Amino acid sequence: MILAEAAVKSREEGSPIYLIETIPYAQMLGLEPHFEGEELLYRLPPKKGNVGNPTLPALHGGALGGFMEMSATLHLLMNMSVLKLPRVVDFSIDYIRAGLMKDTFVSCALIREGRKLANVHIEAWQDDRQVPIARARANFLVD
């Protein structure tokens, strides 16, 4: 299935599962959709390949950043008014605390969708949504 078909099918069903199945990087990370009521979140289950510090063990910062960026891309593909392939222009992440090897969740909020750029706010947490492990801002070219 090509990306455009996966996006249309995912939008129809209200779940990005077809998009995730089409994007190899999302599969490599182990990214999964997760619903809390009507809210679509993204979940990164513990995976040995995502370990950065084996002593703690903790998530690799790149795996966490990649998970957050991929979640924002999926969020855009699911929510943009016009279906276009978003391309990252800028991604800024603040690591707040170590992400341990347990389920990690991400929420995304589309802050602004313009004709050329879209801005997304991303927040990651583990046990408690009120205690984030990272926050990020992503700007996408959607032209």
**From the CB of residue 6, how many other CB atoms can be counted at a distance below 10 Å?**
19
Model pLDDT for residues 111-133, shown as the tens digit of each residue: 999 999 999 999 999 999 999 99
- Structural domain for 136, as ranges: 3-141
Contact 108, 120 (CB under 8 A): yes
Which residue blocks in the chain are alpha helix, DSSP H?
3-13, 17-22, 24-29, 61-79
Inter-axis angle of helices 61-79 and 3-13, nearest 10: 70
**From the CB of residue 65, how many other CB atoms can be counted at a distance below 10 Å?**
18
CATH (domain of 34): 3.10.129.10
**Tokens linked to 74:** 């999926």
Number of domains in the chain: 1
Of 28, 30, 21, nearest in space to 3 by CA: 21
Q: Compute the average pLDDT of residues 84-105.
A: 94
In the three-class reduction of DSSP (H, G, I as helix; E, B as strand; rest coil), residue 50 is classed as: helix
Q: pTM for this structure?
A: 0.93
In percent, the amount of the chain with pLDDT more than 90 equals 80
The yes-or-no verdict on residue 1 having pLDDT over 80 is no
Model pLDDT for residues 11-42, shown as the tens digit of each residue: 999 999 999 999 999 999 999 999 999 999 99
